[in-house]
């Protein structure tokens, strides 16, 4: 159900028109909002229709202004600039006339360069087989979890009292899905909770405020039926806010994306 449902939602923006009227379905909730990775992915998918394919997505900067709930939303795109190699697009999501999410996207085509630094290799560790997978427990785990497969091999799930700043493991869509666009990887990067939540022993809400993501590799067409590896580290927690960074490796072991988030934690 998961992959097919995600593909069905993305198809609403394949016209590339702006503004777009989109229907966010039930079943993708995260607290009182729709899963933030899905909301950002819709903007990425819509913008992809307006940018030349040779200009791949290099970075996405997302601000979650207010909860985006199931129901109708309006997505608008603004082409900020398209130069010789780089295109920059802003996408806004509004609900009931109010801004709920803003995304800044930078696309760039390859250019000649003498510089080349290889990305960090995927960490060694247990594979996904036999590891604990986060279940969908209505009223306990977020609704969108039913569309994912998330298996820990570093740290622990939220509210398990697991010490340490790190969290990681394997993830994919549930059920496994065919190759997808950049939007699929953007949403997958947001599958995982803030790693600091694993240190808590009782449920407490958390909400992403800002999220930056950079794509290291060309991820369009990457297989979604394989296991991707995710690793996150808490970099600071104080005053009810946390900062953490994360890396995502493709099934072939190449580093695909890096990200950083600031989240409010009510616990």
Q: Is the model's pLDDT at 187 over the cut of 90?
A: yes
| Residue 18 confidence class, pLDDT cut points 50, 70, 90 | confident
Taking the C-alpha atoms of residue 109 and residue 118, their distance in angstroms, rounded to an integer, is: 19
Q: Give the whole-number percent of the chain exceeding pLDDT 90.
A: 83
Q: Is the model's pLDDT at 232 over the cut of 90?
A: yes
Measure the N-to-C terminal CA separation of the chain; round to a whole number of Å. 33
Does residue 190 or residue 114 have the better pLDDT? Answer: 190
Taking the C-alpha atoms of residue 25 and residue 42, their distance in angstroms, rounded to an integer, is: 13
Provide the CB-side half-sphere exposure for 7 (13 A, CA). Answer: 14
Q: Is the model's pLDDT at 53 over the cut of 90?
A: yes
Q: Is the model's pLDDT at 43 over the cut of 90?
A: yes
Q: Is the model's pLDDT at 267 over the cut of 80?
A: no
Q: Is the model's pLDDT at 118 over the cut of 90?
A: no
Q: Give the whole-number percent of the chain exceeding pLDDT 70.
A: 99
The pLDDT of residue 1 = 44
Could you read off the pLDDT of 151-173 as tens digits, one per residue? 999 999 999 999 999 999 999 99
Q: What angle do helix axes 182-189 and 2-10 make, rounded to 10 degrees?
A: 120
Q: Map 191-246 to HEC letters.
A: CCCCHHHHHCCCCCCEEEEEEEEEECCCCCCCCECCCEEEEEEEEEEECCEEEEEE
Distances (CA, A) of 45 to 56, 200, 245: 12, 35, 24
Q: Is the model's pLDDT at 174 over the cut of 50?
A: yes
Beta partners for 88? 81, 106
Ordered domains of the chain (ranges, CATH): 2-109+126-265 (2.40.160.210)
Could you read off the pLDDT of 129-141 as tens digits, one per residue? 999 999 998 888 9
Taking the C-alpha atoms of residue 184 and residue 22, their distance in angstroms, rounded to an integer, is: 17
The pLDDT of residue 4 = 58
The pLDDT of residue 224 = 85
pTM greater than the 0.75 cutoff: yes
The pLDDT of residue 221 = 82
The pLDDT of residue 119 = 85
The pLDDT of residue 3 = 52
| Residue 2 confidence class, pLDDT cut points 50, 70, 90 | low
| Residue 225 confidence class, pLDDT cut points 50, 70, 90 | confident
């Amino acid at each position: 159900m998961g992959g097919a449902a995600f593909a069905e939602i993305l198809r609403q923006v394949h016209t590339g028109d702006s503004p777009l009227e989109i229907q966010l379905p039930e079943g993708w909730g995260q607290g009182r909002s729709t899963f933030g990775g899905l909301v950002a992915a819709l903007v990425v998918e819509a913008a992809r229709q307006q940018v030349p394919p040779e200009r791949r997505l290099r970075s996405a900067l997302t601000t979650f202004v207010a909860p985006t709930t199931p129901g109708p939303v309006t997505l608008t795109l603004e082409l900020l600039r398209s130069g010789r190699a780089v295109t920059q697009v802003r996408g806004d999501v509004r609900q009931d006339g109010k801004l709920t999410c803003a995304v800044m996207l930078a696309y760039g085509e390859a250019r000649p360069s003498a510089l080349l630094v290889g990305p960090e290799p995927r960490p060694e560790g247990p594979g996904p087989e036999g590891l604990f997978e986060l279940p969908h427990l209505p009223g306990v785990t977020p609704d969108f979890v039913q569309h994912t497969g998330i298996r820990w091999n570093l740290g622990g799930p939220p509210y398990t009292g697991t010490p340490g700043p790190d969290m990681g493991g394997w993830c994919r869509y549930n059920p496994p899905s065919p190759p997808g666009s950049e939007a699929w990887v953007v949403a997958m990067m947001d599958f995982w909770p803030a790693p600091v939540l694993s240190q808590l022993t009782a449920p407490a809400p958390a909400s992403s405020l800002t999220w930056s993501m950079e794509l290291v590799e060309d991820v369009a067409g990457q297989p979604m039926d394989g296991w991707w590896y995710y690793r996150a580290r808490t970099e600071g927690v104080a005053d009810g806010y946390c900062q953490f960074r994360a890396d995502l490796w493709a099934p072939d072991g190449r580093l695909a994306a890096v990200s950083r988030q600031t989240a409010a934690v009510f616990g």
